[in-house]
Chains A and B, each alone.
Chain A
Amino acid sequence: MPAPPPLPPARRHALIDRMRRVRLPGLGQSILVPLLAVITALLVGAVIILVSGGNPVRAYEGLYEGSIGCPGALSGDAGIQVTRLVCASSVTDTLITATPFVIAGLAVAFAFKGGLFNIGVEGQLLAGSLATVLVGYKLDGLPAALHITLALAAGIAAGAVYGAIPGLLKAYTGAHEVIVTIMLNYVAGTMTSYLLSGVMKDPRSGAVARTPYIDTAARLPDVWPGPEMLHLGAVFAVLTAIGLWWVLQRTTIGYEVRTVGANPHAARYAGMSVARTVALTMAVAGGLAGMAGAIEVTGVNYYHTPGFSVGYGFDSIAIALLGRAHPVGVIPAALLFGALRGGSSRMQFLTQIPVDIIQVIQALVLLFVAAPAIVRWLYRVRQRPHTVIEERPEPAASV
């Protein structure tokens, strides 16, 4: 095939300039590297499954069937007759599991953008759940829309207050947020068990420490009714992610948060209040974590119990990293975690390998994502100059 005639130099420059400006190369990389990391982790995971006496093919069939497909879709091992490649019950299960991961992941990602490391999601989430459940079961006779709004608002507010404490301490005393948030996690955890086995305990729950069920009016409605329920919280999660991205990219506050995160000295020089921004960032992050707890209470559990959080606070850090701290990037990362968790029952059913293997695979994903140099080296992905993206002028948000 004859080569196309060369363009005149001027037009060529304009075209190259245009291509540089398109975000695709940067975006392509930021998707490609995590994707390769996931694939590598699954491959290494397969070897570990083999070593531990399982059959990796069956294991991943189970993972697929449990998170997306119908039982027996690939493995052919089905007690029920439906064996479609996509099964509503599996998908909604993954989505429900992923919902708190998305919002809690945002709580970490947002703080990252502001240059803060929020390890306090666990505590903020518990604080939010406590407030939500209290509003949920103490009030009754309210119209559903009002009751749900109040319950969610209470959770978000409690999380925000709990997140603002380390934020304010950092802003005005310089106390490091990592240490303060870790300590506050213990406070929230112990406080939760104290309250739930004491004044907030349901007298009818017997030996199990949990609160009473929340009022039916305070429960999130299903957006996908029927046997494969999916509550409204999943929609909230996606909207929150997009909203947060918009706030970060298109508003003055978002610009301030990012600037303080990138360089607090420059931010101060530009006339921004670093202390106020730091406190605000942590309050928003805490509010998001509180919302994650509030949605789990109103959408899934309908009560609060000390075993409520299965490490959301710590998985959320992983998810934020996997999503490259991008609000929208958190969604696929959370979906991956949701699928790994959601598929683990079926995976174990088919292979009878220890359920820990799933956690090992999660850890491997993180390892490869957190160290992109390994993946780049393994697959010889060349790092493109980052400047291309950075060159883009910031939106008009000069203060």
Chain B
Amino acid sequence: MIRGRFGAILAVIAACALLLGACGDDKKEDSGGSKPAGGASTSASGGKKLKVGLVTDVGKVDDKSFNQSAWEGVQRAQKELGADVKFIETTDPKDYAKNIETFANEKYDVIVTVGFGLGEATAAAAKKYPNIKFIGVDQFQAESVTNIAGLIFDEDKAGYLAGALAAQMSKSGTIGQVLGTDVVPPVVKFGKGYEAGAKAVKPEIKVLTWYHPGGLAKGFSDPEEGKKQALQMISQGADVIFGAGGNTGNGALLGCAEKNVLAIGVDTDQYLTLPQAQKVLVSSAMKLITPGVFDIIKGVQENSFKGGNFTGQVGLAPFHDLESQVSQAVKDKLKQIDAGLKDGSIKTNVKV
């Protein structure tokens, strides 16, 4: 039944697979062998290589967003701490536990889970494996557990910086913000922070604010409505708009691109995630997940890991194409505000 031309093709494919497979293995061993030599800090923990696994939320490690930022933090641990790192991408929320388990079974030292969706699964796994340290990105810890560090962010500070930038870039004296649902506290923190930051720089500035009324089901996934709201704000004179709310916010940024009005993105550097908005995107209010994840992993290596909430840094993304439009005075002012927020001399006074 199986003979002739296909038998031959089959044999060739199988042979190739085996051959190249072997090559692949060699490469892996190579890089494995050279790693300890490069990572001087491995000796710090008695020569034992830290094993770090990352489980994404439904999505991929190259999503140019949360998952990727967290994975880059883990990769930095590979480079700087000589850690052994691997990832598993989740395709079905039911697999959260199983994917975490895959790393736990292999006796990994640190497991990073990305996104608040994995909160419950992470808490359950932490109970089951008390010797493994868990890092939950965007997972607020209501009660402190000794082996989970929840990496959270002061969205109000990120919003404050965005507001300060927007107010200074505005010529019309009116700026806007298109936000996801106000059911989610971080969104409200972004929104109130933005307003506070803008008013702090220019007390007389007018801030147009719109929250998506559709709750969780629609709030983050309605680009059409987001765009419509942005266009409306532009017709009311807004000349800088902050879009913070998943695809709804992205819709607002696209609306800005259409009307050539300055836009500010959110969470990650959206210059990379939303190329259609590049020409108007002056910056993004970022949660710096990469250094946050790395710092906690480093803490494990140095035995200074603590359970509970770990507040990561926030900041503005590079100005990219609009670098020349942002004057040195504005840059200096932002730098000063950033420093003030970090050392606590500037407060956003946002309570949610």
| A interface residues (Cβ-Cβ under 8 A, vs B) | 32, 43, 46-47, 50, 54-58, 71, 77-80, 93, 193-194, 196-198, 207-209, 300-301, 305-307, 310, 341, 344-346, 348-349, 352, 354-356, 378-381
Q: How would residues 17 to 51 of chain B score, 1 for a CB under 8 Å from any chain A CB and 0 otherwise?
A: 11011001100000000000000000000000000
Chain A residues with CB under 8 Å of B86's CB are: 349, 352
Question: Is the Cβ of A198 less than 8 Å from the Cβ of B215?
Answer: yes
Question: Is the Cβ of B21 less than 8 Å from the Cβ of A58?
Answer: yes
Question: Is the Cβ of B105 less than 8 Å from the Cβ of A80?
Answer: yes
Question: Is the Cβ of A307 less than 8 Å from the Cβ of B58?
Answer: yes
Q: Which residue of B lies closest to A358 (CB)?
A: B91
Shortest beta-carbon distance from A157 to chain B in Å: 25
Chain B residues with CB under 8 Å of A209's CB are: 216-217
Q: Does B336 contact A (CB under 8 A)?
A: no
Contact of A300 among B17, B87, B94 (CB under 8 A): B94
In whole angstroms, what is the CA distance A378 to B198 when docked?
Answer: 68
Question: Is the Cβ of B89 less than 8 Å from the Cβ of A71?
Answer: no
In whole angstroms, what is the CA distance A355 to B102 when docked?
Answer: 15
Question: Is the Cβ of A310 less than 8 Å from the Cβ of B6?
Answer: no
Contact of A196 among B14, B18, B217 (CB under 8 A): B217
Q: Which residue of B lies closest to A193 (CB)?
A: B217
Shortest beta-carbon distance from A78 to chain B in Å: 7
Chain B residues with CB under 8 Å of A71's CB are: 102, 105-106
Q: Which residue of A lies closest to B56 (CB)?
A: A355
Shortest beta-carbon distance from A388 to chain B in Å: 19
In whole angstroms, what is the CA distance A381 to B4 when docked?
Answer: 12
Q: Does B2 contact A (CB under 8 A)?
A: yes
In whole angstroms, what is the CA distance A76 to B206 when docked?
Answer: 65
Question: Is the Cβ of B102 less than 8 Å from the Cβ of A349?
Answer: yes
In whole angstroms, what is the CA distance A376 to B113 when docked?
Answer: 46
Q: How many A-B residue pairs have CB under 8 A?
A: 102
Chain A residues with CB under 8 Å of B14's CB are: 43
Question: Is the Cβ of B89 less than 8 Å from the Cβ of A355?
Answer: yes
Question: Is the Cβ of B106 less than 8 Å from the Cβ of A78?
Answer: yes
Question: Is the Cβ of A355 less than 8 Å from the Cβ of B60?
Answer: yes
Question: Is the Cβ of B21 less than 8 Å from the Cβ of A55?
Answer: yes
> B-side binding surface: helix, strand, loop or mixed?
helix
Shortest beta-carbon distance from A44 to chain B in Å: 8
Chain B residues with CB under 8 Å of A348's CB are: 87-89
Chain A residues with CB under 8 Å of B217's CB are: 193-194, 196-197, 209, 306
Contact of B117 among A78, A208, A349, A356 (CB under 8 A): A208
Q: Does B318 contact A (CB under 8 A)?
A: no
In whole angstroms, what is the CA distance A78 to B25 when docked?
Answer: 16
Within 8 A of A (CB), among B66-90: 86-89
Q: Does B183 contact A (CB under 8 A)?
A: yes
Most chain B CB within a 10 A radius of its CB, from A32, A55, A378? A55
Q: Which residue of B lies closest to A72 (CB)?
A: B106
Q: Does B351 contact A (CB under 8 A)?
A: no
Chain A residues with CB under 8 Å of B6's CB are: 378-380
Question: Is the Cβ of A310 less than 8 Å from the Cβ of B91?
Answer: yes
Query: Can you spell out 13 A-B residue pairs with CB atoms less than 8 angstroms apart?
Result: A58-B25, A71-B106, A194-B217, A196-B217, A197-B216, A209-B217, A305-B93, A310-B92, A345-B99, A346-B102, A352-B87, A380-B6, A381-B1
Shortest beta-carbon distance from B93 to chain A in Å: 5
In whole angstroms, what is the CA distance A251 to B78 when docked?
Answer: 64
Within 8 A of A (CB), among B272-328: none
Using A56-B21, A79-B105, A207-B183 as known contacts, say yes or no to A307 and B93 having CB atoms under 8 A apart.
Answer: yes
Chain A residues with CB under 8 Å of B25's CB are: 55, 58
In whole angstroms, what is the CA distance A161 to B306 when docked?
Answer: 54
Question: Is the Cβ of B3 less than 8 Å from the Cβ of A207?
Answer: no
In whole angstroms, what is the CA distance A208 to B140 when docked?
Answer: 13
Q: Does B107 contact A (CB under 8 A)?
A: yes
Contact of B13 among A43, A54, A301, A341 (CB under 8 A): A43
Shortest beta-carbon distance from B118 to chain A in Å: 11
Question: Is the Cβ of B98 less than 8 Å from the Cβ of A93?
Answer: yes
Shortest beta-carbon distance from B174 to chain A in Å: 31
Chain B residues with CB under 8 Å of A378's CB are: 6
Question: Is the Cβ of B106 less than 8 Å from the Cβ of A344?
Answer: no
Shortest beta-carbon distance from B183 to chain A in Å: 7
Shortest beta-carbon distance from B247 to chain A in Å: 14
The 4 closest A-B pairs by CB, nearest first: A79-B106, A193-B217, A55-B24, A79-B107
Q: Which residue of A lies closest to B14 (CB)?
A: A43
Q: Does B210 contact A (CB under 8 A)?
A: no
Chain A residues with CB under 8 Å of B13's CB are: 43, 46-47
Q: Which residue of B lies closest to A80 (CB)?
A: B105
Shortest beta-carbon distance from A356 to chain B in Å: 8
Chain B residues with CB under 8 Å of A197's CB are: 215-217
Most chain B CB within a 10 A radius of its CB, from A32, A56, A306? A56
Q: Does B339 contact A (CB under 8 A)?
A: no
Chain B residues with CB under 8 Å of A380's CB are: 1-4, 6
